[in-house]
């Protein structure tokens, strides 16, 4: 226990050191930016030859390329892209004007260049679901005519936070369920406020579902997965999708709802970054408050942590059972079974887990209404079984065959010899490697956000999208993963001690332990 406490204290110290180093690096970069303020970008033409960042799948870079030539950097979200801009890794970030205004509001010293393209955004639906598409289009046209959409846009883009509440509706669900894909980290379109998913898109989705007499199901996913999700049928629709000829080949666009501008956000000439007078402890306290306490965001972390634990525990359970079966097939004398097991192992070991999850989600289970968490469990179980089966096989092959032959000579059956002679010795070889493989799988679950699962990492990204703090949420999430994996290692280590006869204490029945002289009890 002392060793465990010491390691936890050391990990906290390392996290604080990383926070301090990241803050010092940021201040150094900001001081350098002061010296280069004369080179600040003031027009779109100056972006030629510069480094620009964009979000995967968004159309802003496609509108940018015909006019300017720049070095392109691709990001998965606005938080890392914003931090890259402030750190000097890129010179500009591309977005629509609404997102740019929010970024500038939260980060003084940044500025927005003039628009370089106009975007007509509308609802995207599955091409094959013509009935739903026609009904939605009729309702949207009516909402445009009576001003409903305009009122929703003004409410969620305004400065009155008290007015930003979802409309009251009654989803009777008599006509089925409407599945809508949202990002969940895109203010003011869809974001978390007081642990509730709100925003312009959420509000409009509720009104549309109410008009059509349908239940509403919101699926939080990365933007890069929204259009594939519509095309594959995992979701029915998504909002604010910019029209392009390439996208129109995969999905159907309804009547245009709004117009956005593609803009570039850059550092202004007077950019100084974070106030230099703020102490490290004050900065750490403020980051902790924004990450965990504001709007009770710690509850989002707990929700994501629970999802991570559920996926990890179920995957190791079913993956181990499947691994035992594959191991038995691999060691079978039947060439067909052994060959199939070997093909399975080599195939799964050669496919990245992210691709396996996306194949399951967007292809094999595309038409099946199943919780993405279950798909993740299936994917990680399949992946874990391939490695666990080889661990089991090598441990069994490492046992002394002479002992098994001696057991047969003493009258043991084949199954009794395996469970009483081979298996106890094999477990000593299995657990150390099995423990490491399990920990690796727990850390690999951080990629499940690709298939619309809000795990620990995804919840951290959602919080970062609201705080625009790239350092503290990442370090806090890393610390939580460390504690979680260390607890798993500790539990498996205790199991290993109880199984390995060389490490556990031996107690011989009928023999009393020796007592030091002078300590004998009176009889």
pLDDT at 313 over 90: yes
| Nearest C-alpha neighbor of 178 from the set 115, 222, 133, 140 | 133
If one counts the domains in the chain, the total is 3
Domain-located, residue 326: yes
In a domain, 225, yes or no: yes
- DSSP for 36-83 reads TGGG---SGGGGTTSEEEEETT-THHHHHTTT---EEEEESSHHHHHH
Same domain, yes or no: 336 and 477: yes
- Categorize the per-residue pLDDT at 395 as very low, low, confident or very high, splitting at 50, 70 and 90: confident
Shared domain check, 304 and 254? no
**What pLDDT was estimated at residue 32?**
44
**304 and 253, same structural domain?**
no
Same domain, 438 and 377: yes
Would you call 111 helix, strand, or coil by DSSP?
A: strand
**H-helix or E-strand containing 17?**
helix 2-35
Q: Left, alpha or beta for 467 (phi > 0: left; psi -120 to 50: alpha)?
A: alpha
CA distance between the termini of the chain: 37
pLDDT tens digits for range 195-224: 899 999 999 999 999 999 999 999 999 888
- pLDDT at 517 exceeding the cut of 70: no
Q: How far apart are CA 494 and CA 196, in angstroms?
A: 40
Banded pLDDT at 504 (limits 50, 70, 90): low
pLDDT tens digits, 281-302: 787 888 889 889 888 899 999 9
Q: Tell me, yes or no, whether 126 and 253 share the same domain.
A: yes
More reliable by pLDDT, 141 or 107: 141
Q: Which domain CATH number covers 413? A: 1.10.3720.10
Domain boundary among 265, 285, 312: 265
Indicate the burial class of 427 (C-beta count within 10 angstroms; 0-12, 13-18, 19 or more). middle
* Domain limits for position 11: 1-38
What sign for the dihedral angle of Cα 135, 140, 141, 145?
positive
- The pLDDT, as a whole number, for residue 505 is 61
Percent of the chain at pLDDT > 90 equals 53
Query: For 274-283, how does the pLDDT look when each residue is reduced to its tens digit (9 = 90+)?
Result: 554 567 678 7
Contact by Cβ (8 Å): 447, 351: no
Residue 374 parent element (H or E): helix 372-397
- For residue range 358-393, what is the model confidence (pLDDT) as tens digits? 999 999 998 888 899 999 999 999 999 999 999 999
Do 479 and 403 share a domain, yes or no? yes
CATH code of residue 234: 3.40.190
* Residue 97 placed within a domain: no
Residue 282 resides in a domain: no
Residue 112 lies in a domain: no
- Asked if residue 230 and residue 178 are part of one domain, the reply reads yes
Residues 27, 169, single domain; the answer is: no
Give the per-residue pLDDT at 87: 86
359 and 460 both lie in a single domain: yes
**507 falls within a domain:** no
pLDDT tens across 226-272, in order?
999 999 999 999 999 988 888 999 999 999 988 889 999 999 887 76
Per-residue model confidence (pLDDT) at position 511: 58
Confidence of residue 514 (pLDDT cuts 50, 70, 90): low
Q: Is residue 364 in some structural domain?
A: yes
Residue 231 lies in a domain: yes
């Amino acid at each position: 226990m002392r060793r465990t406490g010491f390691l936890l204290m050391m990990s906290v110290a390392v996290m604080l050191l990383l926070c301090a180093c990241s803050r010092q690096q940021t201040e150094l970069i900001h001081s350098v930016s002061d010296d280069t303020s004369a080179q600040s970008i003031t027009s779109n033409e100056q972006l030629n030859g510069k480094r620009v960042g964009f979000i995967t799948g968004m159309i802003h870079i496609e509108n940018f390329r015909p006019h300017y030539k720049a070095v392109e950097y691709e990001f998965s979200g606005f938080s890392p892209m914003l931090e890259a801009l402030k750190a000097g890794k890129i010179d500009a970030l591309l977005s629509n004007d609404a997102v740019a205004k929010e970024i500038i509001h939260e980060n003084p010293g940044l500025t927005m260049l003039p628009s370089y393209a106009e975007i007509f955004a509308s609802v995207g639906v599955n091409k094959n679901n013509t009935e739903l598409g026609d009904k939605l289009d009729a309702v949207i046209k009516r909402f445009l005519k009576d001003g409903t959409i305009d009122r929703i846009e003004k409410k969620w883009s305004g400065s009155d936070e008290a007015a930003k509440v979802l409309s009251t509706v009654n989803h009777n669900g008599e006509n089925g369920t409407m599945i809508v894909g949202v990002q969940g980290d895109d203010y003011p379109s869809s974001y978390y406020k007081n642990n509730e998913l709100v925003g312009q898109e959420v509000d409009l989705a509720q009104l549309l579902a109410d008009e059509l007499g349908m239940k509403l199901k919101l699926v939080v996913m990365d933007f890069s997965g929204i259009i594939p999700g519509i095309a594959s049928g995992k979701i029915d629709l998504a909002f604010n999708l910019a029209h392009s000829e390439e996208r129109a080949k995969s999905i159907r666009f309804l009547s245009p709802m709004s117009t956005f501008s593609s803009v570039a956000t850059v550092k202004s000439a007077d950019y100084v970054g974070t106030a230099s007078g703020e102490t490290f402890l004050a900065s750490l306290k403020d980051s902790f408050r924004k990450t965990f306490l504001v709007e009770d965001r710690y509850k989002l972390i707990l929700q994501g942590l629970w999802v991570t634990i559920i996926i990890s525990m179920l995957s190791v359970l079913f993956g181990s059972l499947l691994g035992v079966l594959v191991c038995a097939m691999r060691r079978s004398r039947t060439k067909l079974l052994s060959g199939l097991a070997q093909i399975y192992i080599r195939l799964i070991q050669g496919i990245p887990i992210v691709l396996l999850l996306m194949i399951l989600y967007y292809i094999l289970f595309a038409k099946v209404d199943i919780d993405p968490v279950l798909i993740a469990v299936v994917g990680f179980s399949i992946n874990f079984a391939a490695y666990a089966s080889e661990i089991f096989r090598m441990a069994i092959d490492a046992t002394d065959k002479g002992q098994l032959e001696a057991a047969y000579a003493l009258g043991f059956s084949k199954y009794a010899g395996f469970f009483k002679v081979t298996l106890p010795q094999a477990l000593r070889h299995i657990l150390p490697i099995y423990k490491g493989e399990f920990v690796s799988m727990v850390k690999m679950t951080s990629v499940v956000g690709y298939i619309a699962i809000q795990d620990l990492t995804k919840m951290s990204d959602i919080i970062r999208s609201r705080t625009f703090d790239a350092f503290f949420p990442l370090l806090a999430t890393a610390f939580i993963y460390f504690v979680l994996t260390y607890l798993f290692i500790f539990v498996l280590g205790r199991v290993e001690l109880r199984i390995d006869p060389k490490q556990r204490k031996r107690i011989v029945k009928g023999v009393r332990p020796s007592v030091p002289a002078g300590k004998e009890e009176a009889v």
